[in-house]
Every structure is written in structure tokens, then in C-alpha cells.
Amino acid sequence: MARIVHPSYIKQSIVDKVIARRGRLHAFPALDPTKTALVVVDLDTGTVTRVDDEIRAFVPQINELTQVLREAGGTVAWVTTPISKASKRFQAIYGDQLAIMYEAEGVREGKARAVWHELETKTDDIHAVKQSASAFSPGKCNLHEQLQARGIESILIVGAVTNVCCEASARDASELEYEVTLISDCMWGHKDGQHEATLATFFRNYGDVRPCADAIKLIQTQNSRDVL
């Protein structure tokens, strides 16, 4: 029997173990688009400007995914993290220079408050501001409450940084019983294998991982069934 290769290139030994355990590649082989939200994490002007081409390369894919999901009756949520005043813990971890930079971007009309202009937002999208790495940290973001008001059960996550805010948000969302899928080629993560490690760990223990094209196909397939 031929091995099943993960479309996001997760290590084959991990894929084999997961399939042996649950009998299929994907934890969530189907979704209801009307109960699904695409959560875009920290693709603000400051972040995209710093990373530049690496993030801008997948902006068109995100725009296509938002369009397909909206047309199928789904929700798009934009999350930003403006820092007005860096905490002592933040300064201890990241240093004074980065703390000053993030504070400058977090001021009113600052770069951390604006979604990157090439991303196609709509007036009925959700907008949420988080005060921690996770967009689902209790008391530090109202994204969960906004999603619950729309009956959301499944979440697709894109954005930055894969192994920091995206991972923190995805893990917390999973603990809240959302069916969470990381969109592997629409996320930017740190080098030295940290992006890949997050994808592998999440696939194995917390939820699902798919490339953008797979997610789009999944939405369109379910939507066409609903129409029929």
C-alpha cells in the first residue's frame, strides 16, 4: 500500500503515525462554510513591511481564500496587536529596542493598527484587537465572543508569526473546541525549522494543516453540495 504524503510536506514518519492512529490523513475531512471563519493574524502594515516579499507573496492566496469563503457564507476575521506600552515581561524577552519599535507602531494611526492595504477587507468582516500572543486568550481579545455570535465552529488560520501568535491562537482555539486548520502556505514563521515544527506539532496533536488550494477546494466542494 502506497504511503500517503501530506500536501504541506509534513515529515513522512509523523504522517504515518497519525494515519495509523486515526485511519485518515485529515482530522477534519469536511467543514460547513457557513460555520467557518478565516482568522487573519497580525498581517498589519508594520509586520508586512518588515518581512516584505515573503508575506506579500501569499497575499493573493489569502485574498482568494477570503473571497471563496465569503461567497460560501463564511466569515473573515482580522486580528491586530497594537502595543501601547510594552510590559516588563515583553521587554525582558524581546529587549528594549524591539519594545520601543512596537510601541511606536502601536500609537494611534500607527502601523500595527492597520491591516496591510493589499488585503481585501469588507465592511461586514470581524475586526479584533488582541493584547497577547493568542487571539483566544480570555480577557485579552473579544474574537471568541464575536465568532460565537455568528455560530462559528471551524477556523482557518493564516498570518504571522507561525510559531508565535498563529500557534498560540490556534492552540487556544482548539482548547475552546473549534475545529482549527492551519493554512500552511499562507503563514510566515521564523527560520531554523520553527515554521515547519509548528505545522507538524499542530497536525499531530491539536488540529489540521492544509495548503490554501486544499482549503479552497474543501469549501467549494461543500458549497456545491449544499447548492445541489
Strand order in the sheet with 179-188: 126-129, 75-80, 36-41, 154-160, 179-188, 208-210
Q: Report yes or no on 73 lying in a domain.
A: yes
- Residue 128's H or E segment, with its range, is strand 126-129
| Residue 62: closest CA among 120, 113, 114, 105 | 120
Q: Would residue 50 be called left, alpha or beta, if left means φ above 0 and alpha means ψ between -120 and 50 degrees?
A: alpha
Residue 226: the pLDDT is: 62
Residues of the domain holding 68: 12-227
d(CA 181, CA 197): 15
Distance of CA 210 to the CA centre of its chain: 11
The total domain count for the chain is 1
Q: Report yes or no on 6 lying in a domain.
A: no
Q: Report yes or no on 69 lying in a domain.
A: yes
Q: Report yes or no on 3 lying in a domain.
A: no
Residues 6+ apart with CB under 8 A from 216: 64, 65, 68
Is the pTM higher than 0.85? The answer reads: yes
Residue 21: the pLDDT is: 96
Q: Burial, 64: exposed, middle or buried (Cβ in 10 Å; 0-12, 13-18, 19+)?
A: middle
Q: Report yes or no on 4 lying in a domain.
A: no
Which CATH number fits the domain that encloses residue 33?
3.40.50.850
Q: Report yes or no on 212 lying in a domain.
A: yes
Phi, psi of 49 (to 5 degrees): -65, -40
- Give the C-alpha distances (Å, rounded to integers) separating 102 from 57, 59, 159: 24, 23, 18
Q: Report yes or no on 197 lying in a domain.
A: yes
Tens-level pLDDT at each residue, the chain (228 residues): 578 999 999 999 999 999 999 999 999 999 999 999 999 999 999 999 999 999 999 999 999 999 999 999 999 999 999 999 999 999 999 999 999 999 999 999 999 999 999 999 999 999 999 999 999 999 999 999 999 999 999 999 999 999 999 999 999 999 999 999 999 999 999 999 999 999 999 999 999 999 999 999 999 987 666 654
Q: Are 139 and 67 in contact (CB under 8 A)?
A: no
Q: Which three cell numbers stand for residue 159?
A: 498570518
Q: Report yes or no on 1 lying in a domain.
A: no
Residue 2: the pLDDT is: 73
Q: Which three cell numbers stand for residue 130?
A: 488582541
Residue 222: the pLDDT is: 78
Residues 6+ apart with CB under 8 A from 91: 99
